[in-house]
Structure formats: structure tokens, C-alpha cells
Chains A and B, each alone.
Chain A
Amino acid sequence: MFKNKKTSAALSAPYTAWMTIFIIVPLLMIFYYGLTDSQGSLTLANITAIGYGVYFKSLLLALWLSFLCTLICFILAYPLALILARVSKNAGQGLIITIFILPMWMNFLLRTYAWLTLLEGNGIINGILSFLHLPTQHMINTPTAIVFGMVYNFLPFMVLPLYNAISRIDTAVFEAARDLGAGRRQTLFRITLPLSVNGIISGVTMVFIPALTTFAISTLLGGSKVLLIGNVIESTFTQVYDWHLGSGLSIVLMIFIIINMIISNISDARQEAEG
């Protein structure tokens, strides 16, 4: 891009510095703390701790809830992405996307607090229910409330990659499918879905990983009654001051993220090979 390598190096220097200071150094520190004990000698105990009672339990719960969240997001987002890709630009496509992105202009914690007032015992939803003489529901401080909060917060991260992938499919492909006698259902399952696999994978990654590691949503909407692995890691830093254990557990979570990245890389590579 630049004629001179020197120029390009100079221009990338701020980025390199940023990466080094805020990404590479902290990562190295996590690995250092995660693989040593308080005496500074090498150990795997902080990582194998994940198999121990509380940690294992909270990891399983976090995996389960973030799986549910990802599934719900996908089910909600896919039809929406299909609609978005089909409506023409002047028929309000921009408006729909804006509406979806709009809440993201607000702070994430603020949005989660909003859910708190919605789901509370004397909250807005129960207020409407009791106004209609319907039995009020106990929603706040349950795993369900946490999944609600996760889906709400992470849904845009599913919609946008899906929409991107689907809108990139050449409409001629759909026309060909119809010409060759494929029904709507067949088109969806044999054409649209396989061709949007990349979008699905990046959507799943972008929802699953933040859902797996969240601790703010579970603290607020779970009333600290539901312990996820993110909460456990947070408390090892803030409550127990055991950075070694906290880093070790973070490394375990990184493994899930890396698995996810490998899958998406493989699918990228495959698509490139095909495309």
C-alpha cells in the first residue's frame, strides 16, 4: 500500500504500541500468573482447579446458559436477517437495522439495569400483568432472567453477521433454485443455510463468547444467586485477591474461545477454497 516500508512501519507504530501494551503484555501476564503459584514456581494447579466442585459447576452452568442464549439468538435472528436481506433499501431496511443498533448506543450496564426494572417483582411486566388481573410472575434472580438479559444484549451481534452473509448471496442462486423446482423449504435448507454458514459461525462466536464470560448480567439479573464462571473469576480478583487462580481459570475460558476461532478459521479457509 505504501511505497516505502519505512513509512508503513512508522504509520503502524501507534497500532503496534497499542497492541503491545494493551493486548500482548496483559496476555503474557495472564499466562504468567495462571501458570505460577504465589511463590512464583511453575504449576498447573490454577488450571486444573476448573475440575473442582464450585468451578466446574459454574463453568457447566455458564456453558449451558450461553448455549441457550446462542440458540435463542440464532432462532430469532435468522428469519430477521432473511427479511432484512430481501426488503429493498427504500422499504425501510435501514430503519430496521437502525432500530436494532439503536440500543447499542446506550451503555451496556444501563440497558441491563432496564431489564432489572422490567423483571422485578414490582416491575413493569408484573405491573401490566396485575393490571390485566393475570397472576404475577417471578422472573428476576433466576437463570431465565440471565438468559433474557444475554439474548437482549447480544442479539445484534447475531443479526448483523447473518444479514451480511445472506445479503451477499447472489439472488441468481435463488432464482436458479426455483427454476430447478426447489420449494421454499428446500431453498432454505439446501441453499440459504449452507451459503450463510460463515455468517452463522461468526454470529455464534460473537454471541457465545461474551455470554460465556459475562459476569455483569448474571450479577444484576441473577441477584448474585446464580454463580457463573465469569462471577467466579471476578471474585478471585476482587474478593480473594488470588490472581494466580483467576488467571488460570481465564486461560481455561480462552481455550473455548480458541476452539471457536479454529472452527471459524476452518470454515473461512474452506469457503476461500471453494470461492
Chain B
Amino acid sequence: MKKKMSRFSALLMCAACFAFMLSGCGGSGGAQGGAGELRVFNWGEYIDPEVIAEFQEETGIRVVYEEFETNEVMYAKLAQDPSAYDVLCPSDYMISKLIEQDMLQELDASRLTVAHEEIGDSYWKESEGFDPGNKYSVPYCWGTVGILYNKTMVSEPVTSWSVLWDEQYAGSILMQDSVRDAMMIPLVMNGVSMNTLDEAELEKATQMLIEQKPLVQAYVVDQVRDKMIGNEAAIGVIYSGEAIYTQRENPDLVYVIPEEGSNVWIDSWVITNGAKNVDNAYAWIEYMSRPEVALKNFDYITYSTPNEGARALIEDEAIRNSEIAFPDLSRYKLETYVYLGEEGDALYNDYWMRIKSE
């Protein structure tokens, strides 16, 4: 009996520990400082840290800030606990996935006057592709996918994706380690939509990427930036926002959107369905949409801002009219990714795994 009792008490302690941990997680959400808190989940290195501090100072809201590396990782965490975050900044296709799965809440446009005032019409229109009626999202950053090359290593100007299959650059090519961005390239070269579910086309694209693999130095995400700056590679597939930063560091680098076309993406603020601090989330989105705040972020992260007010404030004319940061979208054949559905995702991933294991 004694033994049973002690076992019971051990169990009780265990339960108490568990309860304590749970309360530790949820309990800190108390109304500290009066304005409460806000749980933000954003891309890594995607905001000027000073902006967060200033937001806290002005509003008194305590910001709990977390970062993710890919949309998929973000989704994995959110799906575990849909109320873990109040405001997120996923990309286009992930937003449509979240909308479809009823994980976001409709936004009240009357509470987003600054955003609607400052963010350019063309970006709202572009957003309709993944968020019809602009009901769920407010654009934060946008850009294109293109080729970054080192003009001291590549003699002729690059205009086409086909340079990624050019054998003279074997071992000097960096590809994006992400299914959609990698598959997009051969699909676009073949004149097919980057959202296709046509298996024959996907098979063809897969064969092209397998053929390319021996020429590829590595499949990387963030490292494209550092490797290109460090002259480790001649050609890399990169997001336009990174391109501006790399050029600052290494003036030999040139960014192009290939003539076959490419992907244009938008990362937008959304509020989760399980958000516990909805008012603060609105305050956050409005704050981020202020021109001077958006400008500060642009200077820090160098990703293109959809904020027209902020763009007008950019002092350096070369950057304000930069073809990289603010390309004339009508000049290029650009397409946004859309959510492919669970089966579509699985299909793309099967092909990608095959390429990677070749």
C-alpha cells in the first residue's frame, strides 16, 4: 500500500509539473503593461529589430517575436497549435492554403486605413491571385525570383534560364533548395504554368533538373547570398530582395529576370483564426504600413516594399527607380504560385525527392 501511495504521489508530481509547464506557456499572456501582448511569426531577418522596439514603445504592447525559415516550417508549427500566433507573414500560395483550411480570419478593411492608403493598387490587385477580394491579407514585401551572376566569371550577359544548364559553368551553379522555385524554372522554360499539375510536364521538368544536377554546386536557401558574395559560385538562383544586398557587398554581381518569365511573390500579413490579441494584430499591421516604418524595414532587409509612400521617401534615386527592387511588372512574364492542394503538394514533392536522390 505504501508503495502504491508513493507511486501515486510521483504521478501527481508529474502531473503537477506538466500543468506548471502548460501554465508557463499560456500564462505569460496576462495583461502586462495594460496593452497586452502580440505574438508575431515572421520570416528570419525580415524586419528591422528597431521597428519592433519602437512599436512596443509607442503602443505598450509586448511583442513575442518568432521567426521561420520556410513557409512549410511555418505551417508545420501553426498546424500544431492554430492559436499559437496572432499575426503571420506567409507567402502567397501558403496564404491560399491557410485560407482554404480556415486558419485565417477575414480582415475588417475599415480598421486598416493606413494600409489601404499607402500600399499600391497594383499590389492589392496582384494579391487577388491568392486572396480573392483582399479579404485576408495585407502585402508586406514582394519580389521576383531571378538569376544572380558574377560578371567576372560569366562572359556574356545572361538573359535565359538555359544558362543554368550550360556545361561551362559546371560546379559553379547554385540552385534554390525549395520544390516550387526549382520546378518553376524548367516549367517556365517549357512554356508551362508554374502551377501545372500535368504529370507529363512535371515529368519532363524533373528529367531536366536531373540532367542539370551534375552541374549544380549545391541546393541552398540562404547560403546563395553568402556564396555569391564570396565568389564561391558564378551563377545562383535568388530572390530579388537578396540581390540588392549582395550587390552592395560585391559590385560584380548582376541580377536578371530571365526572358522566359519567372515567379513574382508577395509576403503578406495575416491574422490567424485562433488569434488571442486581434486588436493588437491590427495595430501591428497598421504600424508596419506606415511609410516611414516600411522605409526603415526596406533599408534594413532590402526586400521590395509594396508601400508607395515608403518608396517615395527613398532618398537614393538609383534605388528608388531600381529595376531590381521595383521592376516594371508589365515588362516581364511573371506568375504567382498558387496552392496546389494536398495531393498537388505531394506530387511535386515526390518529383523533388527523386531529383534529390539521383
Contact = CB atoms under 8 A, between A and B. Distances in A.
Are A and B bound to each other? yes
Interface of A: 5-6, 9-10, 12-14, 16-17, 20-21, 53-54, 57-58, 120-122, 138, 140-141, 223-225, 227, 231-232, 235, 237-242
Contacts of B177: 224
Given A5-B6, A10-B9, A20-B14, A225 B219 contact: yes
B299 interface: no
A contacts with B: majority SS = helix
Contact of A232 (B7, B17, B21, B353): B353
B219 A224 contact: yes
B contacts with A: majority SS = helix
B72 A122 contact: no
B14 A138 contact: no
B3 to A, nearest CB: 6
A225 B18 contact: no
A241 B78 CA distance: 11
B70 to A, nearest CB: 7
27 contacts: A6-B5, A6-B6, A9-B9, A12-B10, A13-B14, A17-B10, A17-B14, A54-B354, A58-B357, A121-B171, A121-B217, A140-B217, A140-B218, A141-B218, A224-B177, A224-B218, A225-B216, A227-B357, A231-B356, A235-B349, A237-B76, A239-B179, A240-B72, A240-B346, A241-B76, A241-B79, A242-B346
B160 interface: no
Q: Which of A14, A53, A223 has the largest count of B CB atoms less than 10 A from its CB?
A: A223
A238 B357 contact: no
A115 to B, nearest CB: 14
Contacts of B2: 5-6
Contacts, number: 94
A121 B13 contact: no
A17 B230 contact: no
Contacts of A240: 72, 345-346, 349
Nearest to A221: B218
Interface in B1-50: 2-3, 5-7, 9-10, 13-14, 17-18, 21
B218 A223 contact: yes
Contact of A235 (B3, B14, B216, B353): B353
In the A-B complex, list the 10 residue pairs whose CB atoms are closest, starting with the nearest: A223-B218, A9-B6, A224-B219, A17-B14, A13-B13, A227-B357, A227-B356, A13-B10, A54-B353, A17-B17
Interface in B212-257: 213, 216-220, 230-232
B220 A225 contact: no
A63 to B, nearest CB: 14
Interface footprint category on B: 35 or more
Interface string B179-219: 10000000000000000000000000000000001001111
Contacts of A120: 232
Contacts of A242: 346
B318 interface: no
Given A5-B6, A10-B9, A239 B357 contact: no
Interface string B102-127: 00000000000000000000000000
Contact of A17 (B13, B217, B220): B13
Contacts of A238: 70, 72-73, 76
Q: Which of A12, A121, A225 has the largest count of B CB atoms less than 10 A from its CB?
A: A225
A5 B9 CA distance: 12
Given A13-B10, A58-B357, A241 B232 contact: no
Contacts of A12: 10
Contacts of B79: 241
Given A17-B18, A53-B354, A224-B177, A239 B72 contact: yes
Contacts of A16: 10, 14
A262 to B, nearest CB: 30
Contacts of B5: 6
Nearest to B171: A138
Contacts of B75: 241
A140 B75 CA distance: 32
Nearest to A17: B14
A225 B72 CA distance: 20
A54 B3 contact: no
Q: Which of A6, A16, A120, A238 has the largest count of B CB atoms less than 10 A from its CB?
A: A238
Nearest to A38: B342
A118 B216 CA distance: 20
Interface in B308-334: none
A223 B213 CA distance: 12
Given A17-B13, A227-B357, 19 more contacts: A10-B6, A14-B13, A16-B10, A16-B14, A17-B14, A17-B18, A54-B350, A54-B353, A58-B357, A121-B217, A140-B217, A223-B216, A223-B218, A224-B219, A225-B216, A238-B70, A238-B76, A239-B179, A239-B349
A241 to B, nearest CB: 5
Contact of B357 (A10, A57, A223): A57
Contacts of B179: 239
Nearest to B73: A238
A224 B356 contact: yes
Given A21-B18, A225-B219, A237-B76, A9 B10 contact: yes
